[in-house]
A and B are shown apart, each in its own frame.
Chain A
Amino acid sequence: MEVKVRPLDCWDDFKKYRKKYYENYLEAKDKGGIRWAGSAWAFDPVPHGLGEDVYSLTGEPYGATCAFFQDFSRECLENIERQGVARDLCGYMRNYWGSIVLDKYLLADGTLVEPFPKPDFNFTIHICCSHAKWYHFAAELEGGIPTYAVDISVGPGYMLDDKKIEYVVRQLKDAIPWMEKITGREYNDELLIKAVYAEADAMSTWAKICKLNQAKPAPLEEKSMFSLYVLNLINRGDPEVAKLYYKLYDEVESRVKRGIGALTYEQFRFLTDNPPPWAFLKVYRYLEKEYAAVSLGAIYTFGLGGGWIGMDEKGEKWIWEPAPTPEEAGVEITNRDEALRWTAEYNLRYRASWQHEYSHWIRKQETYQMVKDWKADAMIMHLNRGCELWNMSTLEVRDYLVKNHVPTATYEGNMADPRDFDEARTFNVIDSFMQSLGIEKIS
């Protein structure tokens, strides 16, 4: 029997958007536009207020694209390591720095162009040990780019209070005159408000789409989801992104109604953990082809760009329900202060991947509840040496899952450094795991 993956109708739309995004950054200066670089978690709506021709390059997706095109990645990594940069640092970051040093820019389809486009400013956040310092060092490599990082490490969403939100809002408020000074532009609050609405829309809608994957058979498989969620990591302040997600939602919902799965045959459902090894996504296809096993998603895939309710008030259980948009929450945003407050609070409270850094318990609940809600048979965890933030708590979570009778396997790898991945060993882990569960190969 041959297990096939059903293609999505709106796949090309997503691909086109992403391609255009990287081209826009490259061509930004042709018509006098603004370029800014920062983390995919940077407060994207804020620079939108500088005009309709503001183009960003978010670091992590760019780093992931580099990793996917292995040869370029190796070149980046080797070059930056020659400058004395340690090998165990975040792979995305090293790919990005390597690009700067090589003065080469990678487009979505793998085309390389020169030079590496210089941003007008860097605007980012700080959550893991690398984030703000990533762009600090990048700015030094580029000869000194104005750089502003917002500290958001105020604790988990369910413990938010006014002082915490205020701390973040004040930093955002200061960023605006700073951006005005650098770009010479006058800030437009209307554009900010529009972007803030769009952000919540896009993130909550992605969550709704992920929730549809609880159906049996699952309408989506994770490898495709990687190319779908990423729009929230490159330009969620653009209302076009939310529109694309509405379209996707309709298509996926239609599959659920008609009982159509992403795989032509589904015999095993599993979840994963951590960003995947980008250079070795064949692992997903192997599981699909050999075992008709569908990967339903992960905290990473759901939570990186999705807005979810998160931990309950007492901090005991995790609730995988989409977060409310301003409309759904009955909130009207009419000015700059309200916009900044909304985006700060929405992200701090509902961004699922900003929660689990604050205790093992949160990550355990997040994971275990996901296994239950998405009706997964097992968990296959990527122990990702490339990201200290994502690999936090994973062994404690593994222990918790096993003790709660969720079959769990782990394989080591690196999301962005292809040299750190052992293909043979990984397939051995997968086969050993499936065999130990009594799941036979389809082929």
Chain B
Amino acid sequence: MTVAGIDVGSKFTKVVILNDSKEILGYSNIRTGIDHHKTVEEAIKEALKKADLTRDDINKYVATGFGKISVPFADSEITQVVAAGKGAYFVWPTARTVIEVGAEESRAVKVGEDGNIKDFALADKCAAGAGSFVDAMVRYLEVPLEEFGRISLEAKESVPMNAQCVIFAESEVVSLLHANYPKPEISRAIHDAIADRVASIARRVGIEDDVLLIGGLANDIGFIDSMKRELGTEVYVPDKIAPELVPALGAAIAEL
């Protein structure tokens, strides 16, 4: 059986295609447009191309993220929590604390030895621990997104962000720039602030090794570094697959 897992996020739509032996045949990651149905079709098309397959080869579609609303033809849908947990356990069987930072929301999932979801926590009413905050910050710093994480590692000292709220944080960054703080220090401060908020959510399920980061922000080496320091423990990122694809993978796994 060949299964396609489709994760429709507010910023990106991801597709992962697996076969019976749970091998990754193809995948895609494209920007979510205003027309979700159109985006989904494009994403599937691209993943199929990579897999050298056609629509007829797919036996089942599983949707997560926005779910069936965006993928009306899906055979089943699973919640993001379950998708994250299952996907993480598959790519990293020793993962016990899975932290996903998406564009709009963060979540933490506690996974048991058997791969079952034991507990979870979702971000409550706060944008400071989400990817969209990064987008805003990168604009102020005027650095390319790819550089944003790397330069934070060059910081020689920690400059605390005093504002607890994203809205205030934006103008605080402007103040720091005017006060001539170097960009690496400011970048580190921003990453630390995000890590602080994300850690708050993760702590609710309890920090247990291994801690695995998934979702788009797991590509940011500055963020990984901030999380390590905040949690005081090693933090891993999947190596078999891009971290933002893990929930789509988890959706497909759910059906196999």
* B13 interface contact, C-beta 8 A: no
Quick check: A436 and B125 within 8 Å, CB to CB?
A: no
Quick check: B124 and A432 within 8 Å, CB to CB?
A: no
Quick check: A435 and B125 within 8 Å, CB to CB?
A: no
Q: CB < 8 Å: which of B79, B85, B117 contacts A431? A: B79
Quick check: B79 and A412 within 8 Å, CB to CB?
A: no
Quick check: B80 and A435 within 8 Å, CB to CB?
A: no
Considering the chains assembled together, what is the distance between the CA atoms of A32 and B90 in angstroms? 75
* B119 interface contact, C-beta 8 A: yes
Considering the chains assembled together, what is the distance between the CA atoms of A409 and B110 in angstroms? 13
Q: Which residues of A contact B80 (CB under 8 A)?
A: 428, 432
Q: Which residues of A contact B31 (CB under 8 A)?
A: none
Q: CB < 8 Å: which of A383, A412, A422, A436 contacts B120? A: A436
* B204 interface contact, C-beta 8 A: yes
Quick check: B120 and A432 within 8 Å, CB to CB?
A: yes
Quick check: A402 and B119 within 8 Å, CB to CB?
A: yes
Name the interface residues of A395-434: CB closer than 8 Å to any CB of B.
Answer: 395, 402, 408-410, 412, 422, 425, 428-429, 431-433
Q: Which residues of B contact A422 (CB under 8 A)?
A: 125
With both beta carbons as reference points, the residue of chain A lying nearest to B81 in the complex is identified as A432
With both beta carbons as reference points, the residue of chain A lying nearest to B204 in the complex is identified as A395
In the assembled complex, the CB of A80 is this many whole angstroms from the nearest CB of chain B, namely 22
Quick check: B124 and A428 within 8 Å, CB to CB?
A: no
Quick check: A383 and B124 within 8 Å, CB to CB?
A: yes
In the assembled complex, the CB of B255 is this many whole angstroms from the nearest CB of chain A, namely 13
Q: CB < 8 Å: which of A395, A425, A435, A436 contacts B122? A: A425
Q: CB < 8 Å: which of A395, A412, A433 contacts B125? A: A412
Quick check: A436 and B124 within 8 Å, CB to CB?
A: no
With both beta carbons as reference points, the residue of chain B lying nearest to A408 in the complex is identified as B119
Considering only CB atoms and an 8 Å cut-off, how many residues of chain A contact the other chain?
Answer: 16
Name the interface residues of B89-129: CB closer than 8 Å to any CB of A.
Answer: 116-122, 124-125
* B78 interface contact, C-beta 8 A: yes
* B82 interface contact, C-beta 8 A: yes
Quick check: A435 and B78 within 8 Å, CB to CB?
A: yes
Quick check: A435 and B204 within 8 Å, CB to CB?
A: no
Q: Which residues of A contact B125 (CB under 8 A)?
A: 412, 422
Considering the chains assembled together, what is the distance between the CA atoms of A428 and B85 in angstroms? 15
Q: Which residues of B contact A395 (CB under 8 A)?
A: 204
Q: Which residues of B contact A410 (CB under 8 A)?
A: 121
CB-CB under 8 A for A428 and B119, given A383-B124, A395-B204: no
CB-CB under 8 A for A429 and B117, given A435-B79, A435-B82: no
With both beta carbons as reference points, the residue of chain B lying nearest to A422 in the complex is identified as B125
Quick check: A432 and B82 within 8 Å, CB to CB?
A: yes
In the assembled complex, the CB of A370 is this many whole angstroms from the nearest CB of chain B, namely 20
Quick check: B122 and A428 within 8 Å, CB to CB?
A: yes
Interface 1/0 per residue, B199-212 and A, CB below 8 Å: 00000100000000
Q: Which residues of A contact B122 (CB under 8 A)?
A: 425, 428-429, 432
With both beta carbons as reference points, the residue of chain B lying nearest to A420 in the complex is identified as B125
Considering the chains assembled together, what is the distance between the CA atoms of A409 and B116 in angstroms? 15
Considering the chains assembled together, what is the distance between the CA atoms of A314 and B122 in angstroms? 38
Q: Which residues of A contact B85 (CB under 8 A)?
A: 436
Interface 1/0 per residue, B176-190 and A, CB below 8 Å: 000000000000000
Specify which of A383, A422, A429 lies most central, judged by the most chain B CB atoms within 10 Å of its CB: A429
Considering the chains assembled together, what is the distance between the CA atoms of A435 and B116 in angstroms? 11
Quick check: B204 and A428 within 8 Å, CB to CB?
A: no
In the assembled complex, the CB of A436 is this many whole angstroms from the nearest CB of chain B, namely 4
Interface 1/0 per residue, B52-80 and A, CB below 8 Å: 00000000000000000000000000111
In the assembled complex, the CB of B132 is this many whole angstroms from the nearest CB of chain A, namely 16
With both beta carbons as reference points, the residue of chain A lying nearest to B205 in the complex is identified as A402
In the assembled complex, the CB of A386 is this many whole angstroms from the nearest CB of chain B, namely 13
Considering the chains assembled together, what is the distance between the CA atoms of A436 and B80 in angstroms? 11
In the assembled complex, the CB of B70 is this many whole angstroms from the nearest CB of chain A, namely 14
With both beta carbons as reference points, the residue of chain A lying nearest to B123 in the complex is identified as A425
Quick check: A412 and B119 within 8 Å, CB to CB?
A: no
CB-CB under 8 A for A432 and B79, given A412-B124, A412-B125: yes
Q: Which residues of A contact B120 (CB under 8 A)?
A: 409, 432-433, 436
Q: Which residues of B contact A412 (CB under 8 A)?
A: 124-125
Quick check: A436 and B204 within 8 Å, CB to CB?
A: no
Q: Which residues of A contact B124 (CB under 8 A)?
A: 383, 412
Q: Which residues of B contact A409 (CB under 8 A)?
A: 120
Considering the chains assembled together, what is the distance between the CA atoms of A116 and B206 in angstroms? 50
Specify which of A422, A429, A436 lies most central, judged by the most chain B CB atoms within 10 Å of its CB: A436
Q: Which residues of A contact B204 (CB under 8 A)?
A: 395
With both beta carbons as reference points, the residue of chain A lying nearest to B107 in the complex is identified as A432
In the assembled complex, the CB of A429 is this many whole angstroms from the nearest CB of chain B, namely 6
With both beta carbons as reference points, the residue of chain B lying nearest to A398 in the complex is identified as B204
Interface 1/0 per residue, B221-245 and A, CB below 8 Å: 0000000000000000000000000
In the assembled complex, the CB of B130 is this many whole angstroms from the nearest CB of chain A, namely 13
Q: CB < 8 Å: which of B79, B116, B118, B121 contacts A428? A: B79
Q: Which residues of B contact A402 (CB under 8 A)?
A: 118-119
Considering the chains assembled together, what is the distance between the CA atoms of A429 and B82 in angstroms? 11
Q: Which residues of B contact A425 (CB under 8 A)?
A: 122
In the assembled complex, the CB of B80 is this many whole angstroms from the nearest CB of chain A, namely 7
With both beta carbons as reference points, the residue of chain A lying nearest to B78 in the complex is identified as A435
Q: Which residues of A contact B118 (CB under 8 A)?
A: 402
Q: Which residues of B contact A408 (CB under 8 A)?
A: 119
Task: Enumerate the 10 nearest inter-chain pairs by beta-carbon distance, A residue then B residue, closest first.
Answer: A436-B117, A432-B81, A432-B79, A412-B124, A435-B82, A431-B79, A435-B79, A402-B119, A436-B82, A435-B78
A-B contact pairs, 12 of them (CB 8 A): A395-B204, A402-B118, A412-B124, A412-B125, A422-B125, A428-B80, A429-B122, A432-B79, A432-B122, A435-B79, A436-B117, A436-B120
A sample of 4 more A-B contacts (CB under 8 A), given A408-B119, A422-B125, is A428-B80, A428-B122, A432-B120, A433-B120
